[in-house]
Structure 1
Amino acid sequence: MKSPLFAAAFLGLAASAQAQTLTVIAPDYFGSEWGPGPAIKEGFEARCNGCTLEFRTGDVMSRLQLEGARLEGDVVIGLNTDTTLRARETGLFVPHGQPLDALTLPIDWEDETFLPFNWGYNAWVYDKTRVENPPTSFAELLTREDISLVWQDPRSSGAGLALLLWVDQLYGEDAAEVWAALSRQTVTVTAGWSEAYGLFTEGEADMVMSYATSPVYHIVAEEDDSKAAAIFEEGHYLTAEVAGILSGAAQPDLAADFMAYVLSAEFQQMIAYANWSYPSALPRADWPEVMRDLPFPETPIRYDEAKAEKRRGPALDLWLQGMTR
């Protein structure tokens, strides 16, 4: 029979092992085998002297709002700048504690709570074998009855919400007319990005709402240069994805180490290749060559988090009006 002393020692070892687990709340794509999570897990664990990084995946915003202070985790990753106000207002985050001078986004960043790990421009991606003369402006796209589209529902998709706010900033109260025009060209509107992009790659539509960097995946992973982003003269909507430390973190020191890792060159290179997006803390000269060589939108369009939240409801009303005409 084991003594109470042995039992106490065993429990102490178990607690110590558990104490070395960093729990990161992330979207489903992030922790999947084709997302950036596996490489990030391997890289961070190689640095943290025996710790384990564990991803808990799902709908991050819903989890923050539904679980609140009961949420068990140390770090949240994968929120974007159109939703950070809602996340901030939960009161569940503490300052990230990282210097911001290494950031290379094309916008000023002074947020002490959320740290950007990547950024990107939303863009209509097309198949060059199907679209020989892509539109060069949003205004032209609305007149192109020869082009079929697939895109995402702004109520359930970050890419769809970005499109909603892009149109809202360009067209304001006239947006209902824009949505009516787009609906006539639309094959379907999907719940998420993966479904829409899958339909596009299967040839169900000529263009899909995605990101200016999406062609990089096809070039690198498939040796296929038939996909390209249409660059619009009005500019492109910019979003950044962020990470933050939860106030209830069981491992605050590990969480701080992870946030520092986010800014490392190793992490940033992983983001470029595994998340197929612009890294937030690498100068353009250090991006993968294939990414540097792609057409690059020069005019960022965006809302700050307060304006994005303020315009979301009215913009959705205009979307519904246009889509039901």
Structure 2
Amino acid sequence: MRRRTFIGAMGGSTVAGLAGCLTRDGDDETGNGDSEPENPDLEGELTVATYESMVDGDNPAGPWLKEAFEAEYADAELTWTVPGQGLTHYIEREQQNADLEADVYLGLNVDDLVRIDDSLGEGGLFRELNVDRIDNAGRIRDGLDMGDPHGRVLAYDTGYICLVYDETVVDEPETLGALTEPAYEDSLLAQNAQSSDPGKAFLLWTVDAFGEDGYLEYWRDLEANGVRILDDWSESYYGAYMNEERPMVVSYSTDQVYASAEEYDMSRHQIAFPNGQGYANPEGMGIFERASELDLAYEFLDFALSSEAQAVVAQRNVQFPAVSSEHVDLDEEFDQYAHEPSEAVTVGYEALRGKLDGWVEDWAREFAGQ
């Protein structure tokens, strides 16, 4: 899930709790070779790769993180890098055994880990983390384990894909199946699962709901009922939905935070959780296997889970913090307008391995161009 720029496993769909088992295979629970040094090297330039809206746009979190991290570590410099191809850039560099020129990646999803392992082999690209070196890791909420069997990533925020709708035009859909009924004909805007994080998340939600053998038939029913699929979230939300071309869009459950800040009519920004569910999309951070500034990288992961950093990231990214509520203070407006589903669902790492590309490709052949 990528930050919205408007503000500065199958059969196991409920997200599992944090397992606390992030150690290298065969090693004991105290370390994986990244044991904490007596005198860590906290001098130098730490390079953190991320996506563009973390560092650019309306009030992004990245500049604050840089300034605050450098204030805490006076002999360190944090440099952001935004690769044009995102994670693909580093997968290709790793395949070529070329310099990665980065220490940390901020913005990993579960499907990214699957893509890494499908491309590079099990446990590729990132180090298996020794969480004993990350004091604040113990603050992470239950339910935000990224499901990686190789323990390479920790969540730093999360969002929930849901439906945003205009209550003056349509009623709240109680189930995903209801979206195929006449009451919702020509109502829904969705995104291309090949090019959009919320689009892919919504597709996986339908795989979870209707099964590997039934999700395409469900999409055929959606298509017959007039679903409109656009390339990305911005086009579907800022373009079609905000121009009132349709009364419902696949979006984020923090939508009302934005609507309230912009003083929009809240009747057009209602949140629907069909079946009481929303699709959870935690964002994670990991340390590259070939990181040159390992000690600073561990300090950055710990810093990103600190109370102040969590509040800034959540509110500027308009997502939920990764740490539990007793460890972070959020604005009253965020607490009021950011909604969480009764049940968070996801398709986990094990179910995605070897299946994700096929599901997306099969979907795209029928629906991506419509």
TM range (shorter): 0.7 to 0.9
Number of the residue aligned with 1:28: 52
Flag the 1:223–1:46 CA change in 2: closer, same or farther, 3 A: farther
> Which stretches in structure 2 are left out of the alignment for 5+ residues?
1-42
CA deviation after TM superposition for structure 1 residue 134, in Å:
2.2
TM-score, structure 1 length as denominator?
0.84
Aligned partner (choices 293, 296, 307) of residue 251 of structure 1:
293
Aligned partner (choices 303, 312, 333) of residue 290 of structure 1:
333
Number of the residue aligned with 1:8: none
2:90 pairs with 1:51: no
1:118-176, Cα deviation, whole Å (9 max, x unpaired): 11211111234x53522122111221334522222111222111111110111121212
Identity of aligned residues (%): 28
Number of the residue aligned with 1:3: none
CA deviation after TM superposition for structure 1 residue 187, in Å:
3.2
Q: Work out the CA distance in 1 between the residues paired with 2:218 and 2:354.
A: 20
2:251 pairs with 1:223: no
2:169 pairs with 1:131: yes
Aligned partner (choices 217, 225, 234) of residue 194 of structure 1:
234
Query: Which residue identity does 1:198 align to in structure 2?
Result: Y
Contact 1:82 1:239 in 2 (8 A): no
Query: Which residue identity does 1:126 align to in structure 2?
Result: Y
Contact 2:156 2:284 in 1 (8 A): yes
Bigger shift: residues 100-109 or 77-86: 100-109
Q: Which has the larger radius of gyration?
A: 1
Contact 1:117 1:241 in 2 (8 A): yes
Alignment map for 1:89-168 (pairs within 5 Å): 90=120, 91-97=124-130, 98-99=134-135, 100-108=137-145, 112-128=151-167, 130-143=168-181, 144-168=183-207
Bigger shift: residues 313-322 or 98-107: 313-322
- SS of the residue aligned with 1:229? strand
Flag the 1:41–1:315 CA change in 2: closer, same or farther, 3 A: same
Query: Which residue identity does 2:87 align to in structure 1?
Result: M
Contact 2:144 2:282 in 1 (8 A): no
Moved over 4 A (4+): 107-111, 284-287
Number of the residue aligned with 2:216: 176
Q: Work out the CA distance in 2 between the residues paired with 1:88 and 1:26.
A: 20
Query: Which residue identity does 2:55 align to in structure 1?
Result: G
Contact 1:238 1:302 in 2 (8 A): yes
Q: Work out the CA distance in 1 between the residues paired with 2:236 and 2:142.
A: 27
> Which stretches in structure 1 are left out of the alignment for 5+ residues?
1-18
Q: Work out the CA distance in 1 between the residues paired with 2:93 and 2:106.
A: 16
TM-score, structure 2 length as denominator?
0.74
Q: What do you get for the CA RMSD once the two structures are aligned?
A: 2.5
Contact 2:144 2:322 in 1 (8 A): no
Contact 2:276 2:342 in 1 (8 A): no
Flag the 1:105–1:277 CA change in 2: closer, same or farther, 3 A: farther
Aligned partner (choices 109, 112, 127) of residue 80 of structure 1:
109
Number of the residue aligned with 2:356: 312
**Which has the larger strand fraction?**
1
CA deviation after TM superposition for structure 1 residue 30, in Å:
1.6
Number of the residue aligned with 1:299: 343
Flag the 1:269–1:88 CA change in 2: closer, same or farther, 3 A: farther
Flag the 1:263–1:306 CA change in 2: closer, same or farther, 3 A: same
CA deviation after TM superposition for structure 1 residue 108, in Å:
4.8
CA deviation after TM superposition for structure 1 residue 43, in Å:
2.0
Q: Work out the CA distance in 1 between the residues paired with 2:355 and 2:254.
A: 26
Number of the residue aligned with 2:316: 274
Number of residues paired by the alignment? 304
Flag the 1:322–1:171 CA change in 2: closer, same or farther, 3 A: farther
CA deviation after TM superposition for structure 1 residue 202, in Å:
2.9
CA deviation after TM superposition for structure 1 residue 79, in Å:
1.3
- SS of the residue aligned with 1:185? coil
Query: Which residue identity does 2:244 align to in structure 1?
Result: G
Query: Which residue identity does 1:292 align to in structure 2?
Result: D
Contact 1:115 1:242 in 2 (8 A): yes
